[in-house]
Chain A
Amino acid sequence: QVQLQEWGAGLLKPSETLSLTCAVSGGSLSGFHWVWIRQPPGKGLEWIGQISDSGTTDYNPSLKSRVSISVDMSKSQFSLQLTSVAAADTAVYYCARADCGPYCIYHFYYMDVWGKGTTVTVSS
Chain B
Amino acid sequence: EIVLTQSPGSLSLSPGERVTLSCRASQTISARYLGWYQQKPGQAPRLLIYGSFNRAIGIPDRFSGRGSGTDFTLIISRLEPEDFAVYYCHQYGKSPRTFGQGTKVEVK
Interface residues of A, Cβ cutoff 8 Å to B: 44-47, 50, 58-62, 94, 98, 101-103, 106, 108-112, 114-117
Q: Within B54-86, which residues are at the interface with A (CB < 8 Å)? A: 54, 56-57
B102 — nearest CB in chain A belongs to which residue? A44
Please name all residues of chain B whose beta carbon is closer than 8 Å to the beta carbon of A110 when the two chains form the complex.
33, 35, 47, 50-51, 90, 92
B92 — nearest CB in chain A belongs to which residue? A110
Question: Which of B50, B97, B101 makes the CB contact (< 8 A) with A101?
Answer: B50
Interface residues of B, Cβ cutoff 8 Å to A: 1, 30, 32-33, 35, 37, 43-47, 50-51, 54, 56-57, 88, 90, 92-93, 95-102
Contact residues of A: prevailing secondary structure: mixed
Q: In the complex, what distance in Å separates the CA atom of A83 from the CA atom of B99?
A: 24
B96 to chain A, nearest CB (A): 4
B94 — nearest CB in chain A belongs to which residue? A108
Check B32 against A61 for contact (C-beta < 8 Å): no
Contact residues of B: prevailing secondary structure: loop
Check B88 against A103 for contact (C-beta < 8 Å): no
Most buried by B among A46, A61, A102, A111: A111
Q: In the complex, what distance in Å separates the CA atom of A35 from the CA atom of B50?
A: 16
A58 to chain B, nearest CB (A): 5
Check B45 against A109 for contact (C-beta < 8 Å): no
Check A103 against B44 for contact (C-beta < 8 Å): no
Q: In the complex, what distance in Å separates the CA atom of A115 from the CA atom of B44?
A: 7
Check A112 against B47 for contact (C-beta < 8 Å): yes
Please name all residues of chain B whose beta carbon is closer than 8 Å to the beta carbon of A103 when the two chains form the complex.
32-33, 51
| Top 5 A-B residue pairs of the complex, sorted by shortest distance between their CB atoms | A114-B44, A47-B97, A110-B50, A45-B99, A108-B33
Question: Which of A45, A62, A98, A115 makes the CB contact (< 8 A) with B92?
Answer: A98
Q: In the complex, what distance in Å separates the CA atom of A102 from the CA atom of B56?
A: 12
